[in-house]
Amino acid sequence: MAGSALTGGAGWTRVSDLRALSQKAWDRGELLREAIRPTGLYPRRRALRRPSAAQLRDHYAAARAWAAELYGAAAHHGTAGAIGTGPFALETTEAGRMTIGANLVPSAAVFASAADEAGFVGRRRELERFCRLADAVLAAEPGLEEWILRRPLASLELRHALPDLVRAARWFADHPAPGLYLRQLALPGIHTKFLEQHRRVLDELVSALDPERAPGGFEARHGLLTEAPPVRFRVLDPALVDSALAFLGGATDVVLRVDDFARLRLEVETVVVVENKVTFLSLPPMPRTIAVWGAGFGSSTRVPGWVRDARVLYWGDLDTHGFAVLDQLRAAHPHVVSVLMDRPTLEAHRELWVEDPRPTRAALAHLTAAEGAVYSALTSGELTRSADRTAWAGVRLEQEYVRWDWALERLLAAVLA
């Protein structure tokens, strides 16, 4: 009989199948959304895969067991229609009249409400908590309705924090440019570590209340002050140390805040910008020259005015991302010259190429024709190491792999040009 039940019941909708469907509805946030903003989905009818007349005849015991499980989950059933006091009611239909006699077979499970379906997967209390939370949030800020409908599960997970986050979001919406560090904010009952921990959700809430927020990072979007990355530079000419930097006690490797760096008045002729730290530390003495280590040196706020009067040499990785940094730097300072980012350097180190799995293919408007040709070649497929190698997504020659004798000869020539 057990073997017959297993064979005959294959494909019929069981309670576990129904529960899996309801769990998916919960995991999508569908039940929570329906609880606070009904769309007419409930009563929700879920059709059941059920025994055919032939299956009733051949596997009657299995069919009875299948129906009994459903009736047990529904708690009560009647002779027709949808009757039940459990999480769902069962609709029935007649089957088998011409084979073994008329039988009422479950044909659909009907959930009267989202709360009933949530209860079916053990989530009724969570749904009730969510409803109370949504009522409180939307009473305070009706403008957050779209957000809470989009992020119901996140709202529920953050139910203890969300009221304070909503208050903080309102403050930011009312003060679009406070000009303070986040640590300086003094919101009653809300500490700044809490805001740091939840900055992503806070950003979403503020954006929902004030959709016109500017793009950028959290601080930039919400008018907060932020600490700029420091500038690290090496003085490659000892004479400069004795003059402009004498107050530093002879230091040649210096880290300064951006503003302090911009206030320096160095009598330099050349600024060498490199991305690799070891390369930065290895550069030899050069007349009237400083070296700057710095990804991000290209932003206009990082380059003081006196640099505009100097020759600026940029040496980055020979890959698409290195050219993107060069393009950014030159957008702010058109006189920047690239070094060791050329086709001869690339070809001379063919054995040291590696694949760049995620090259950028952005249009770079500030490259020279020669630079643009190398940039295009890096992703064109023509630079694969051997004929039998599948074309890479992109080619990369990292700065530290360029032979030092090759690099130094060309770098010194550029400095002394």
Say if residues 363 and 379 touch (Cβ distance below 8 Å).
Answer: no
- Max Cα distance, the chain (Å): 109
Percentage of the chain lying above the pLDDT 90 cut: 52
Q: Is the pLDDT of residue 256 over 90?
A: no
Say if residues 268 and 397 touch (Cβ distance below 8 Å).
Answer: no
Percentage of the chain lying above the pLDDT 70 cut: 87
Mean predicted lDDT score pLDDT of the chain: 85
Say if residues 337 and 322 touch (Cβ distance below 8 Å).
Answer: no
If you average pLDDT over each of 46-55, 79-88, 379-388, which comes out highest? 46-55
Q: How far is CA 125 from CA 28, 71, 121, 139, 239, in A?
A: 17, 24, 11, 21, 75
Cα separation, 34 vs 397, whole angstroms? 55
- Residue bearing tokens 């059709």: 47
Q: Residue 6: what pLDDT?
A: 39
Q: Is the pLDDT of residue 372 over 60?
A: yes
pLDDT digits (tens, 9 = 90+) for 267-286: 889 999 998 899 999 999 99
**CA-CA-CA-CA torsion for 193, 194, 197, 198, nearest 10 degrees?**
-140
- Compute CA 154 distance to the chain's CA centroid, rounded to the nearest angstrom: 16
Q: Residue 375: what pLDDT?
A: 94
Q: Which tokens belong to 292?
A: 């700057």
Q: Is the pLDDT of residue 83 over 80?
A: no
Return the CATH number of the domain spanning residue range 231-416: 3.40.1360
- Residue bearing tokens 């479950």: 106
- Work out whether strand 89-95 and strand 103-111 pair parallel, antiparallel, or are unpaired: antiparallel
pLDDT digits (tens, 9 = 90+) for 13-49: 999 999 999 999 999 999 999 999 999 999 999 999 8
Q: Per-domain residue ranges for the chain?
A: 2-120, 136-221, 231-416
pTM score, whole prediction: 0.63
pLDDT average, residue stretch 240-264? 76
Cα separation, 87 vs 62, whole angstroms? 24
pLDDT digits (tens, 9 = 90+) for 303-330: 566 777 889 999 999 999 999 999 988 8
296 φ/ψ sector (left φ>0, alpha ψ -120 to 50, else beta): left
Q: Is the pLDDT of residue 107 over 60?
A: yes
pLDDT digits (tens, 9 = 90+) for 114-147: 999 999 999 999 999 999 999 999 999 999 999 9
Q: Residue 147: what pLDDT?
A: 96
29 φ/ψ sector (left φ>0, alpha ψ -120 to 50, else beta): left
Edge to edge, the sheet with strand 44-47 lists 44-47, 103-111, 89-95
pLDDT average, residue stretch 186-215? 90
pLDDT digits (tens, 9 = 90+) for 332-364: 888 899 999 999 999 999 989 988 888 999 999
